């Protein structure tokens, strides 16, 4: 587990203008990503600080950074950086914090390595070899189960197995990339045969993304007590879902075209070290629920393996945009509602001998709160489209319409710590081709 050190000091201040009090990227965060600067020169690694990006390639050239971790973090893809693990990553974080803190002797040289984030282009932070989406939000699983199986919403395996499916890595895109409405087979309940048409029940899913760091060999499993050492960082994930395509195709093998047309992630990788102040105990299971099997149970993970992260969904429709209105909040949930910890997900994924590799991406599955103010999808909030949501400008939504923009945000906050965020995870829906 990550521990607190000087980089978490709430009294720490930065000389970078706008960093202190920044809603996402104060000096206590320092997430990694890949960007292209406005003057060209191609993609390279950077660190978000306030409304700026520290160019790690430029910092290396200026002699401000040195070593394998800095070189890997400055590369056009962070896979090699992820592979190095926690100790080099932690050492680089400490050096970056010292460079950017108020009063640093490096201020003059480092200021020349800053770019305004608004002038830069953000890219995928790493090449995703494989993407697995889990289903660990128990309130979401129960709500969805009621839609498809009213009499038996949670199947018996749910409380024993961290359920997941292998998703499509090729269609994951960074925030700001539009998502095109998919086509597929739709079958109405009263129809004898399906038809091929654009999706009519397009939905979002509020998820936490987990970037894998050091991997494991094929045939060797990762013990749950060591699983956190294989996590490189976190992001937000919107696993777009075509609910009408899903309803027809998902049996007997699970999601296919309903999920493979696009997933959106926030482009900054928030490190486990940055999230250390926001770790909490895994909530106790309800009375009568089975204890995890021994290979999924670790005492330290149960004490510190969960997160207190506020998760928010907002919508901005074309009409709202035209009227100059701010995005409207649809949901406010929290990562504490995950039934399984990240370590349990990693341990189970590898328990049969599957090898994970640096840059693999795991999704938590939709994280819904217990009540309808925190549901992580429209399928839940609108009760399968039966109860539309009323928006402030008089519009309503059962599912997403063309031109709608969905925005996911995180707020990590607790007393005695500086709050941090992940940056927006946002995308706009385009009409079907």
Q: Is the pLDDT of residue 253 over 70?
A: yes
3-state secondary structure of 374: helix
pLDDT tens for 125-157 read 999 999 999 999 999 999 888 877 788 888 889
Say what the pTM is: 0.97
pLDDT tens for 280-323 read 999 999 999 999 999 999 999 999 999 999 999 999 999 999 99
Mean pLDDT of 246-256: 90
Question: Which run of H or E residues covers position 109?
Answer: helix 107-111
Contacts of 386 (CB under 8 A, 6+ apart): none
Percentage of the chain lying above the pLDDT 70 cut: 99
Q: Is the pLDDT of residue 369 over 80?
A: yes
> Cα(284)–Cα(286) distance, rounded to whole angstroms?
6
- Please answer whether residues 92 and 70 qualify as being in contact, where contact means their C-beta atoms are separated by less than 8 angstroms: yes
pLDDT tens for 160-172 read 999 999 999 999 9
Q: How far is CA 99 from the centre of its chain?
A: 28
What is the per-residue DSSP string for 240-252? -EEHHHHHHH-TT
Question: Which run of H or E residues covers position 79?
Answer: helix 79-84
**96 is written with which tokens?**
């970056």
* Catalytic residue list: 140
pLDDT tens for 401-431 read 999 999 999 999 999 999 999 999 999 999 9
């Amino acid at each position: 587990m990550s521990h607190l050190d000087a980089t978490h000091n709430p009294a720490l201040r930065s000389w970078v203008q706008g960093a202190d009090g920044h809603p996402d990227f104060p000096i206590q965060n320092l997430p990694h990503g890949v960007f292209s600067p406005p003057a060209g020169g191609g993609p390279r690694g950077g660190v978000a600080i306030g409304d700026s990006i520290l160019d790690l390639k430029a910092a290396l050239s200026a002699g401000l950074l040195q070593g394998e971790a800095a070189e890997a973090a400055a590369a056009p893809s962070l896979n090699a950086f992820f592979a190095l693990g926690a100790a080099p990553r932690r050492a680089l974080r400490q050096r970056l914090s010292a460079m950017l803190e108020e009063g640093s002797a490096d201020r003059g040289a480092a200021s020349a390595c800053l770019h305004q984030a608004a002038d830069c282009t953000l890219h995928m932070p790493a090449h995703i070899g494989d993407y697995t989406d889990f289903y660990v939000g128990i309130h979401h699983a129960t709500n969805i189960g009621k839609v498809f199986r009213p009499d038996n919403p949670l199947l018996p395996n749910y409380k024993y197995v961290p359920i997941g499916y292998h998703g499509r890595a090729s269609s994951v895109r960074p925030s700001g990339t539009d998502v095109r409405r998919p086509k597929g087979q739709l079958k109405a309940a009263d129809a004898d045969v399906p038809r091929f048409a654009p999706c009519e029940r397009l939905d979002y899913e509020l998820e936490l993304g987990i970037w894998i760091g050091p991997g494991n060999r094929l045939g060797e499993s990762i013990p749950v007590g060591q699983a956190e050492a294989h996590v490189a960082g976190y992001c937000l994930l919107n696993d777009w879902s075509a609910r009408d395509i899903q309803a027809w195709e998902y049996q007997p093998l699970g999601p296919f075209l309903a999920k493979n047309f696009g997933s959106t992630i926030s482009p900054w990788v928030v490190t486990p070290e940055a999230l250390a102040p926001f770790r909490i105990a895994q909530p106790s299971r309800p009375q009568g629920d089975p204890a995890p099997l021994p290979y999924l149970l670790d005492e330290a993970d149960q004490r510190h393996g969960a997160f207190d992260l506020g998760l928010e969904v907002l919508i901005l429709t074309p009409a709202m945009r035209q009227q100059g209105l701010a995005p409207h909040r649809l949901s406010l949930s929290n990562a504490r509602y995950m039934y399984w910890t990240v370590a349990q997900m990693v341990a189970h994924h590898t328990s049969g001998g599957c090898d994970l590799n640096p840059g693999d991406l795991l999704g938590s599955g939709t994280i819904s709160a217990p009540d309808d103010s925190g549901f992580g999808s429209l399928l839940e909030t609108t009760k399968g489209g039966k109860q539309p949501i009323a928006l402030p400008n008089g519009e309503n939504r059962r599912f997403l319409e063309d031109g709608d923009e969905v925005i996911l945000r995180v707020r990590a906050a607790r007393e005695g710590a500086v709050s941090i965020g992940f940056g927006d995870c946002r995308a706009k829906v385009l009409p079907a081709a």
